Amino acid sequence: MKALLILGLLLLSVTVQGKVFERCELAKTLQRLGLDGYKGVSLANWMCLARWESSYNTKATSYNPGLRSTNYGLFQINSRDWCDDGKTPRALNACHVSCNALLQDDITETVACVKRVVSDPEGFRAWVTWRNRCQNQDLTQYVQGCGV
């Protein structure tokens, strides 16, 4: 019985954690999905953003009490403006997507939404984390040795 309980807890932790990409695996996936150079943003910038927003974890979420909204997925896309989680007041859902879709291991919907975000006038600067961690930094480490 104890072994069954431990097995259940292990399976639960895998479900909650989601897919955590290896650095080069994510770089190749983002390149394949058309993010390298999209709207003038290099792959290294996308990789840096994903590293600091989610540690490459598709299931990452964080709640913003001030905005009463939640950030979802690899790029921490916010429910107030970009996706619908069914609980954020006055949500815009500019990506026309469920926030749960941004937590999937298949990141196709996530990439489509970040393309929408970066197409807005604020562009890549919409991500405070990018401004604080990646802007004006040497980002070669995020793609080095990945063959991209």
Both structure tokens of 120: 């807005």
Could you tell me the pLDDT band of residue 138, with boundaries at 50, 70 and 90? very high
Residue 53: count of CB within 10 angstroms of its CB: 22
Both structure tokens of 138: 């040497």
pLDDT beyond 70 at 128:
yes
Which helix or strand (DSSP H or E) is residue 78 part of? Answer: strand 77-78
Both structure tokens of 43: 């792959």
**SS3 state of residue 112:** helix
Q: What is the residue type of 57? A: N
Residue 14 has what pLDDT? 39
Residue 18 has what pLDDT? 82
pLDDT in tens, 6-52: 434 444 433 456 899 999 999 999 999 999 999 999 999 999 999 99
Residue 114 has φ and ψ, to the nearest 5°, of -65, -30
